[in-house]
């Protein structure tokens, strides 16, 4: 299952011109507001007809301007989770959830209402009306409703943007579960790097209506060229990790390809595959193996790229094991240390800098 | 009760009810359709359609009645065709009274329904489409249930208007007892004969009762509509 998009469409300030593929897993469509993300996802859903191009899912054309194919929205069978929930106010939660089932494709294996309600923890809400639900509950019901319509793919347009941080935390684990337990591709629009880092398996970065870069999340997020798009404060690499031990002193030991990391105790089982996000400004570089430091987490590797920005900082990409780290240090330090590609360096990561919200399962 | 109103008066009340019910029942489906088109679609001639729908509200009822007579009379272009094809006659029959009542009530009904449709967030209809519902299915499962109280309110308002229609009716189908003499026509007739005031007054009371009941009903339903769209 894979989605192929290649469209152009005039917008107010520029022309949207994008081409990308979205494989199974969560593909994040990332970019600041007004770069055409919602236009792209609406074109995929059929709610908007682009001026030119084609969109296909697993080889089947949903839209093709050349051969005048434009499958109507209801025949595309793509579940859409909107930013604002859009639950039907005149129906109960249960009726909302089952709404799409009667129009779904026949002979398709589908999750049961019980399974989905269980996955999203909304069994207790089934008899209620949407008007009486909290924002987080509404959004979970909206996700369940989309899942139960047996979609070929899920589209999510900033499903967490309207929620406060606590409610976001409430939903993120369910999205991770969905990514890991359902086999349908998910196109996920977001302007939050933290969300993308936590959820995405594939990232498409949009900039003013064009694809600036697309690729696996680890590659895109640790590419020095992407620092500008992601924003200096948010720049950072995502490393696949697995939990190997819980220590008695309240630390959890994780294995990454370049070594071991210690994090404040995680409430997750040993053996679990996860990923950690290391922000570029939370790394200190050293030429020699640091001694007498309070920092627990030190990885070493070779510099693969140095990229100077407009300001006083430079971004340094380091290959640690199989993965890349990004470090942001001052140009002055880089010059003083005479850093150049190929040099071996030690990256000191303050363990507290790996924020709890940046730890994702999967 | 039967002793309170004379047979002629009962006849007028019964005929008015029959005429108004038929008028609303037959004009409701096209009314909903036109209200939907005006609320949701952009098309050429939308302003012209809007004007045509509202015309009976602005034109003197006598003019509307005369235009109906010209069009639907036995020799009128539509009237002749309907007579030859369906054996349907409007002029000087109760069917004509129903047609006149329907035309006069139509703008009120369409306005009420259009307001209800405009209160429904089109995003909900989009959401239903992404869940696999076709246009017709979206309308019947999302739009219609949400506007239903508004539709009922519009129908009640239209019914009250149809009950009171006088000018267009008397011009189009005259004032024949038992055939086209509706409640307002009967009141008018009673007022023309000496000693008819008491009968007229009784019918006036009936009119006031019907109008107030209809207004109260439509008010209650409109409030329920607002609550329902808000998701209470």
Model confidence at A279: pLDDT above 90? no
Task: Write the DSSP symbol of residue B91.
Answer: T
Task: Write the DSSP symbol of residue A51.
Answer: S
Percent of all residues in chain A with a pLDDT value above 70, rounded to a whole number: 96
Number of domains in chain A: 2
| ipTM of predicted assembly, 2 dp | 0.80
User: Which string of DSSP letters, residue by residue, matches A160-191?
Assistant: TTTS-HHHHHHHHHHHHHHHHH--S-EEEEES
Q: What is the mean pLDDT of residues A39-51?
A: 95
Cβ-Cβ pairs closer than 8 A, A with B, add up to 78
Q: Two tokens at B22?
A: 């038929």
Secondary structure tally for chain A: helices H, strands E: 10, 21
Confidence band (pLDDT; 50, 70, 90) for B149?
confident
Map residue A64 onto helix, strand or coil: strand
| Same domain (yes/no): A172, A291 | no
Nearest CA in chain A to B225: A90
| Same domain (yes/no): A170, A250 | no
| Same domain (yes/no): A279, A168 | no
Q: Nearest Cβ partner of A100 from B126, B132, B228?
A: B132
Longest dimension (CA), chain B: 69
Contact partners, residue A232, CB within 8 Å, separation at least 6: A280, A281, A309, A311, A313, A328
Strands A236-246 and A210-216: unpaired
Cβ-based contacts of B135 with chain A (< 8 Å): 74
Q: What is the mean pLDDT of residues A343-351?
A: 86
User: Most A CBs within 10 Å: which of B119, B121, B132, B142, as the mutation test of the A interface?
Assistant: B132
A90 to B129: CB separation less than 8 angstroms, yes or no: no
| Same domain (yes/no): A200, A330 | no
User: Most A CBs within 10 Å: which of B120, B123, B131, B146, as the mutation test of the A interface?
Assistant: B131
Q: Which domain holds residue A276?
A: 236-361
pLDDT tens for each residue of A216-229: 988 888 888 888 77
Query: Does any domain span residue A227?
Result: no
Task: Write the DSSP symbol of residue A222.
Answer: T
Query: Does any domain span residue A231?
Result: no
B146 to A104: CB separation less than 8 angstroms, yes or no: no
pLDDT tens for each residue of A128-158: 999 899 888 999 999 999 989 989 999 999 9
Which of A91-95, A329-333, B132-136 shows the lowest mean pLDDT across its residues? A329-333
Q: What is the pLDDT of residue A354?
A: 53
Beta sheet of A259-264, edge-to-edge order: A259-264, A251-256, A236-246, A273-279, A360-361
**Residue in the block written with tokens 């007498």:** A292
User: Which string of DSSP letters, residue by residue, matches A78-115?
Assistant: EEEE-TT----TTS-HHHHHHGGGGGSPTT-----HHH
Contact partners, residue B29, CB within 8 Å, separation at least 6: none
The residue out of A166, A186, A221 marking a domain boundary is: A221
Q: What is the mean pLDDT of residues B97-122?
A: 94
Distance CA A285, CA A49 (A): 50
Q: What is the pLDDT of residue B3?
A: 62
Residue A93 belongs to a domain with what CATH number? Answer: 3.40.50.300
Cβ-based contacts of B146 with chain A (< 8 Å): 89-90
Q: What is the mean pLDDT of residues B7-21?
A: 91
Model confidence at A243: pLDDT above 60? yes
Check: CB of residue A99 under 8 Å from CB of residue A92. no
Cβ-based contacts of A155 with chain B (< 8 Å): 130
Query: Does any domain span residue A337?
Result: yes
User: Which string of DSSP letters, residue by residue, matches B180-223?
Assistant: T--HHHHHHHHHHSTT-HHHHHHHHHHHHHHHHHHHHHHHHHHH
Distance CA B206, CA B202 (A): 6
In terms of Cα–Cα distance, which of A296, A311, A287, A289 is closest to A263?
A296
User: Most B CBs within 10 Å: which of A90, A130, A142, as the mutation test of the B interface?
Assistant: A90
Q: Nearest Cβ partner of B123 from A86, A99, A105?
A: A86
- For chain B, which domains are there? 7-230 (1.10.3720.10)
The residue out of A221, A256, A273 marking a domain boundary is: A221
User: Most B CBs within 10 Å: which of A41, A82, A85, A88, as the mutation test of the B interface?
Assistant: A88
The residue out of A221, A245, A274 marking a domain boundary is: A221
Contact partners, residue A92, CB within 8 Å, separation at least 6: A126, A127, A128, A129
Query: Does any domain span residue A56?
Result: yes
| Same domain (yes/no): A277, A350 | yes
A84 to B128: CB separation less than 8 angstroms, yes or no: no
Tell me the nearest-neighbour CA distance from B90 into chain A, angstroms: 42
| Same domain (yes/no): A166, A240 | no
| Same domain (yes/no): A60, A175 | yes
B131 to A129: CB separation less than 8 angstroms, yes or no: no
Query: Does any domain span residue A228?
Result: no
pLDDT tens for each residue of B111-133: 999 999 999 999 999 999 999 99
| Same domain (yes/no): A134, A243 | no
Confidence band (pLDDT; 50, 70, 90) for A203?
very high
Confidence band (pLDDT; 50, 70, 90) for A351?
low
Q: What is the mean pLDDT of residues B158-168?
A: 92
Query: Does any domain span residue A226?
Result: no
Tell me the nearest-neighbour CA distance from A357 into chain B, angstroms: 31
Q: What is the pLDDT of residue B24?
A: 95
Nearest CA in chain A to B149: A90
Cβ-based contacts of B126 with chain A (< 8 Å): 47, 73, 86
Query: Does any domain span residue A146?
Result: yes
| Same domain (yes/no): A166, A273 | no
Please tell me if residue B232 touches chain A, with a CB cutoff of 8 Å.
yes
| Same domain (yes/no): A250, A214 | no
Q: Two tokens at B62?
A: 């006598």
| Same domain (yes/no): A255, A214 | no
Cβ-based contacts of A84 with chain B (< 8 Å): 123
Residue A291 belongs to a domain with what CATH number? Answer: 2.40.50.100
Check: CB of residue A98 under 8 Å from CB of residue A154. no
Model confidence at A327: pLDDT above 80? yes
| Same domain (yes/no): A96, A144 | yes
């Amino acid at each position: 299952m894979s989605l192929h998009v290649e469209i152009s469409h005039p917008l107010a300030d520029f022309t949207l011109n994008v081409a990308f593929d979205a494989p199974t897993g969560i593909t994040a469509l990332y970019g600041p507001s007004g770069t055409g993300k919602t236009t792209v996802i609406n074109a995929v859903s059929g709610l908007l007809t682009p001026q030119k191009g084609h969109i296909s899912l697993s080889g089947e054309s949903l839209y093709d301007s050349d051969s005048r194919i434009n499958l109507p929205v209801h025949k595309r069978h793509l579940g859409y989770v909107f930013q604002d929930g859009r639950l039907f106010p005149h129906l109960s939660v249960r009726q909302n959830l089952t709404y799409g089932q009667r129009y779904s494709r026949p002979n398709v294996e589908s999750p049961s209402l019980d399974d989905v309600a269980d996955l999203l923890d909304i069994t207790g809400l089934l008899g209620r009306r949407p008007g009486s639900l909290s924002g987080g509950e509404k959004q979970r019901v909206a996700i369940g409703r989309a899942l139960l319509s047996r979609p070929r793919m899920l589209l999510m347009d900033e499903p967490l943007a309207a929620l406060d941080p606590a409610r976001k935390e409430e939903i993120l684990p369910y999205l991770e579960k969905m990514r890991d337990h359902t086999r349908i591709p998910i196109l996920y629009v977001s302007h939050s790097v933290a969300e993308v880092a936590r959820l995405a398996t594939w990232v498409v970065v949009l900039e003013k209506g064009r694809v600036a870069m697309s690729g696996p999340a680890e590659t895109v997020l640790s590419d020095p060229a992407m620092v500008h798009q992601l924003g200096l404060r948010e720049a950072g690499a995502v490393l696949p990790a697995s939990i190997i031990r819980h220590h008695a002193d309240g630390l959890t030991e994780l294995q990454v390809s370049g070594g071991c990391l210690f994090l404040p105790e995680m409430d997750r089982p040993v053996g679990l595959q996860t990923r950690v996000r290391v922000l570029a400004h939370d790394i200190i570089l050293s030429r020699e193996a640091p001694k007498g430091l309070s920092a627990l987490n030190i990885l070493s590797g070779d510099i693969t790229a140095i990229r100077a920005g407009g300001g006083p900082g430079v971004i340094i990409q380091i290959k640690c094991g199989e993965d890349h780290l990004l470090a942001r240090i001052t140009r002055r330090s880089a010059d003083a240390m005479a850093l150049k590609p190929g040099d071996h360096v030690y990256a000191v990561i303050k363990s507290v800098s790996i924020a709890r919200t940046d730890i994702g399962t999967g | 009760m039967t002793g309170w109103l004379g047979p002629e008066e009962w006849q007028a009340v019964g005929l008015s009810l029959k005429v108004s019910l038929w008028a609303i029942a037959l004009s409701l489906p096209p009314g909903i359709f036109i209200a939907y088109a005006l609320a949701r679609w952009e098309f050429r001639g939308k302003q012209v359609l809007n004007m045509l729908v509202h015309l009976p509200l602005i034109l003197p009822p006598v003019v509307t009645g005369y235009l109906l007579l010209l069009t639907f009379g036995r020799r009128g272009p539509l009237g002749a065709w309907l007579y030859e094809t369906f054996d349907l006659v409007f002029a000087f029959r109760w069917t004509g009274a129903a047609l006149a009542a329907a035309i006069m009530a139509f703008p009120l009904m369409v306005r009420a329904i259009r307001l209800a449709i405009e209160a429904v967030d089109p995003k909900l209809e989009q959401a239903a489409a992404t869940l696999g519902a076709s246009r017709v299915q979206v309308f019947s499962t999302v739009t219609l249930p949400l506007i239903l109280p508004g539709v009922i309110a519009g129908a009640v308002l239209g019914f009250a208007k149809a009950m009171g229609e006088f000018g267009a009716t008397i011009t189009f189908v005259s004032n024949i007892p038992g055939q086209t003499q509706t409640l307002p026509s009967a009141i008018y007739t009673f007022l023309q004969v000496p000693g008819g005031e008491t009968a007229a007054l009784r019918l006036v009371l009936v009119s006031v009762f019907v109008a107030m009941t209809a207004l109260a009903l439509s008010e209650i339903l409109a409030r329920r509509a607002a609550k329902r769209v808000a998701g209470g």
